[in-house]
Amino acid sequence: MYSANFDYVRAESIDQAVELLSTHPHARLLAGGHSLIPALKFRLENPELLIDIGRLEDLKGITSTTSRVNIGALTTHAEIAASDALPAGLRDAASMVGDPQVRNWGTIGGNISHADPASDLPTILVALGAKIMLTDMKGSRIVPAASFFEGFFETAKNKDELVLSIEVPNTGISAYEKMPNPASGYCMVGAGVMLKVENGVCSSASVAVGGLTPGPRRCPSVEAALVGKALDADTLSAAAKAVENDLGDDLLGDMHASEEYRKAMASVYMKRALMKAAARA
């Protein structure tokens, strides 16, 4: 199927892109295009204008300080997966996105703006305590990842806003594991973990689950089962089992894996993520 007719503009600057968004309420941003182009072909999206931001160098690249890393919105999954400056859990997730073609063209800004519940990056970004920098004609604002993802393909980003960058802390030990769809690689169950360990004892934990929920979800029961304890086999098993208390009732299922099966697998993949993080500690 072919898309409906639309106008096309290649933005020469961030300011121009934001101005076009403000004056065209039915415009869409085009970066890597791996989510938008299929939606256009199936006419699930019918924008009046496509604003191509794919060549804006100011939105690309990874810069780091001692405690945090800033990732430009147009940084690709492949670049994230290959960067030693980023937390290991984020590199895990980026390396599991799609296939090499998707990883080399898809961008982190487009990925999180699309907010597909079967995506990998939202879950680990919530676990890491990432922050999303947004901008529009009125200025810029920062939204925590835990508040940015609001549900099924829904985010806190307004239609006239553009994702500038994502900031992630560069402290702690992190890991990500998922149960992939065997055909597409999409996440059916994903678990992201960020731990701080002192003298062999977990001093803080941030854990999130995704894939089987409408959006990434923090797991306070898992976190409580980890903090103050040594990361031995019993602790990790009990913490992974506790994820069942954090899933809620609005679970996703389809022909590939039912709600019940995904729920049963949540503790399995949570334990794998916890074990990977504990091994890195």
User: Tell me: the pLDDT tens digits for 250-281?
Assistant: 999 999 999 999 999 999 999 999 999 999 99
Give the CATH number for residue 27: 3.30.43.10
Question: Is residue 265 situated within a structural domain?
Answer: yes
Structure tokens at 242: 């506790």
Q: Model confidence over 92-142: pLDDT tens digits?
A: 999 999 999 999 999 999 999 999 999 999 999 999 999 999 999 999 999
The stretch 189-205 carries a mean pLDDT of 96
Are residues 199 and 128 part of one domain? no
Q: Model confidence over 133-179: pLDDT tens digits?
A: 999 999 999 999 999 999 999 999 999 999 999 999 988 999 999 99
The boundaries of the domain holding residue 215 are 173-280
Q: What is the pLDDT of residue 171?
A: 87
Residue 215 has pLDDT above 90, yes or no: yes
Question: Is residue 145 situated within a structural domain?
Answer: yes
Number of folded domains that form the chain: 3
Are residues 73 and 121 part of one domain? yes
Are residues 252 and 238 part of one domain? yes
Residue 1 has pLDDT above 80, yes or no: no
Confidence of residue 198 (pLDDT cuts 50, 70, 90): very high
Q: Model confidence over 11-70: pLDDT tens digits?
A: 999 999 999 999 999 999 999 888 888 888 989 889 999 999 999 999 999 999 888 999
Residue 74 has pLDDT above 90, yes or no: yes
This prediction has a pTM of: 0.96
